[in-house]
Structure 1
Amino acid sequence: MWYPPGGDVEYSKLADEHFTERGDERFTGAFVGICCQAFTDKNIHTDFDDFAHSTL
């Protein structure tokens, strides 16, 4: 089942070039992933054979 994300999200600064503070912790870039959750009492696993990402 597909649930579209809601609302607008600011994506223009998803890179570490905009980081201006000093220190050991720095933003390392944007990541994307997939997740599947079963909300039942059954022990079921999920295998992903393919994942495609494209820019808009």
Structure 2
Amino acid sequence: KGFVLLKKRWVVERTFGWLMSCRRLVRDYEFLPTTSETFIYLTMIRIMVRRLA
């Protein structure tokens, strides 16, 4: 059949690509998981604000 595009996987891979644009998220420097989660939220907020502007 060949290559079949999986919609959900594409969305996840695209989102991970966006997150990797933030230098601090490329390596896990944080000690607490909540700090890493907070930086992910901040990065996604920044990405969405830039897309809306």
Q: TM-score range by the shorter chain?
A: under 0.3
Q: Which protein is richer in helix relative to its size? A: 2
Give the TM-score of the pair, scaled to structure 2.
0.27
Query: Which fold has the larger relative contact order, with Cα–Cα distance below 8 Å and residues 6 or more apart in sequence?
Result: 2
Give the TM-score of the pair, scaled to structure 1.
0.27
